[in-house]
Structure 1
Amino acid sequence: MTRTHLLALGAAALALAGCSKGAENATAPANGTSAAAATPPAGQDWTQVVSATPEGGMVMGNPNAPVKLVEYLSLTCPHCAEFAETGYAKLQDYVKKGTLSLEMRNYVRDPIDMTATLVTRCNGPQTYFAMTEQALAQQQQIMAKIQQVPQAELQRLQSAPPADQFKALATLLGIDQFAKQRGVPQSKLDQCFADKAALDQLVAGTSKANEIPGFPGTPTFLLNGTMLQNAGTWEGLEPQLKSAGA
């Protein structure tokens, strides 16, 4: 994905390319034995233990969890929103046991996705997971608003610098209000939209995902490094987590 393509607006911003029902590649290896629960730090549960990863993701849970799940997700992918609605609370129950860690890696498909992703990451790892889940819950509302934006305005934004595009989209789609309601002031938003290093990291992470053999789109799950088959729903994912010992 090139920078030019990433920042193209208009109809391309609404395309669902790169969004699939679930990965359909190798099945995760199974050990058939559930790992023992682990004790979290005092005063916390494992869902409160979060950090950034070298790969550009955010990870939640026991750093020594024997089962490590990675999700590639897009904030404009409806299948990701469906999974979040049905699966995230149940995933967190596994994380709380200390047997599973969950890393989310953003797969950025369009300018709206980039705008929302920069917002969810703006206050760092501690608020990332909650803001990501809430952004996915509001996905339909956000995407509906783009239909109301005049085409001339979208065309005008195409020639604007990236930070100005993201700020304008945030205002047009109510993403800025979403952020402010969650403790991110406008001054901080402006800094995050202008953070070239963060933008480059997200673009690079998306390009790297595209290099994974057979990468089908989002959501895609890796379990202990192996891409899962038919894991785009909770009903498809949970048996594979149990099989791996989560």
Structure 2
Amino acid sequence: MIRASLLLAALALATPAIAHAKPRLAHPAQSAHPAKPNDWTRVAGATAAGGFVMGNPAARVKLVEYGSLTCPHCRHFDEVAAAPLSAYVRTGRVSWEFRSFLLSGFDIPATLTAGCNGAATFFPLLHALYAAQPDWVAKMQAIPTDRLEQIRKLPLPEQFAAIGDAAGFPAFAAARGIPAPKLVACLRNQAAADRAVLTTADGQNKYKVRGTPTFMINGVTVDYSAGPSPWAVVDTALKSSLAKVYR
């Protein structure tokens, strides 16, 4: 398995400048928990690709999003699209999978925080992290240089815990029902960090993802470069896909 150390060797832990490109990708792979009949937004599961999926596992329209938790464009998409996307998912005809794409070392503690409590709370934590993104990213970027140098000398799990602590993630999680000690344990979870790195590497190597956010519907990349906004283009593509598969 690709180690998180490879990511941190390539992406500086304190890098404030993050690239956000219009990316391309190609292929969804998912697994989900057993169905509940009325509100499919209550059904969530981890996926084989390293993401989390909300919705009916038998949905004929499958949306996959590669997003970075430090990406402001991803935050804006979540702000605009979370509610209407949930309305699609609720019907059981659309599923929504989120795969974390690491643009910098700062993404690792955020990703570990979002997934700390498993699939059941992943999407609520994802939305909360995006909503608070300007605050915690600023805290990460404000870490003094000498403190960053000290952090870089720590074992990787301790690096993630230290950055997460500077961002205020233990208190953030505690306010949302995850005890701070549990969150700290999640931040020190090397295996979970390695899975996040592997998901990013798969996105880069298999699906040619070069930036965030990236979307695909039923294996076809959604090109929103000429559209009025990413959500407007994704919304139109969802409607088109639904019309084709639910005739």
Q: TM-score, normalised by structure 2?
A: 0.85
Q: Structure 1: where are the runs of 5+ without partners?
A: 27-39
- Counterpart pick for 1:63 among 44, 48, 57: 57
Provide, for residues 168-213 of structure 1, a one-character-per-residue CA deviation record: whole Å limited to 9, x for no partner: 1122111221111111112212321222221111111100100145
Distance 1:214 1:207, change over 3 A: closer
Contact 1:9 1:155 in 2 (8 A): no
Seq. identity, %: 39
Aligned positions of 1:1-80 closer than 5 A: 2-5=6-9, 8-10=12-14, 12=15, 14-17=16-19, 19-20=20-21, 22-23=22-23, 41-42=36-37, 44-80=38-74
Contact 2:161 2:188 in 1 (8 A): no
The count of aligned residue pairs is 228
Question: More deviation in 1-10 or 181-190?
Answer: 1-10
Contact 1:87 1:233 in 2 (8 A): no
**Aligned residue for 2:182?**
188
Provide, for residues 26-53 of structure 1, a one-character-per-residue CA deviation record: whole Å limited to 9, x for no partner: 9xxxxxxxxxxxxx625x5100000111
Residue 109 of structure 2 is aligned to residue 118 of structure 1: no
Residue 41 of structure 1 aligns with an amino acid whose one-letter code is: K
Q: TM-score, normalised by structure 1?
A: 0.86
Q: 2:168 and 2:68 mapped to 1: Cα distance?
A: 18
Residue 68 of structure 2 aligns with an amino acid whose one-letter code is: S
Question: More deviation in 176-185 or 121-130?
Answer: 176-185
Q: Structure 2: where are the runs of 5+ without partners?
A: 27-34
Contact 2:66 2:212 in 1 (8 A): yes
Q: 1:169 and 1:7 mapped to 2: Cα distance?
A: 15
Contact 1:47 1:60 in 2 (8 A): yes
Distance 1:225 1:137, change over 3 A: same
Displacement after TM superposition at 1:7 (Å): 6.5
CA RMSD, Structure 1 to Structure 2 (Å):
2.0
Contact 2:44 2:55 in 1 (8 A): yes
Q: 1:132 and 1:6 mapped to 2: Cα distance?
A: 25
Q: 1:88 and 1:64 mapped to 2: Cα distance?
A: 21
